[in-house]
């Protein structure tokens, strides 16, 4: 698949990148090469090949949920740097 300079321009706009004409030409070539390589992978014969991704076979270690009473604000706020009665006080981050 061939990528045009116009398509690179659209992608750059979506990514909020400012690129010049020389960079557009270079990126079009590089992206075209990547897509040609992916097209080659589509033709690979993988019949009878086992999956080898380790993440696909991992199991999560989960614990059973147990209902417990809340320790209350005295315990949960004991190490709070600042508090207002039963609430944490944090610096304002939104103006």
What domains are defined for the chain? 5-42 (1.10.20)
- For residue 29, give the nearest of 12, 8, 10 by alpha carbon: 8
Residues with Cβ within 8 Å of 75's Cβ and at least 6 positions away in sequence, in order, are: none
**What is the overall mean pLDDT for the chain?**
88
Instruction: Give pLDDT tens digits for 51-77.
Output: 776 666 667 778 899 999 999 888 999
- Residues 21-37 have a mean pLDDT of 94
pTM: 0.48
Q: What is the pLDDT of residue 23?
A: 95
Decide if 32 contacts 2 (C-beta within 8 A). Answer: yes
Beta partners for 87? Answer: 84
């Amino acid at each position: 698949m061939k990528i045009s300079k116009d398509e690179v321009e659209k992608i750059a706009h979506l990514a909020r990148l400012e690129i010049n004409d020389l960079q557009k030409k270079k990126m079009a070539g590089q992206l075209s090469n990547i897509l040609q390589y992916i097209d080659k992978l589509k033709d690979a014969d993988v019949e009878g090949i086992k999956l080898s991704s380790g993440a696909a076979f991992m199991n999560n270690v989960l614990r059973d949920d147990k209902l417990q009473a809340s320790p209350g604000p005295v315990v949960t706020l004991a190490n709070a740097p600042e508090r207002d009665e039963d609430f944490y006080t944090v610096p304002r981050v939104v103006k």
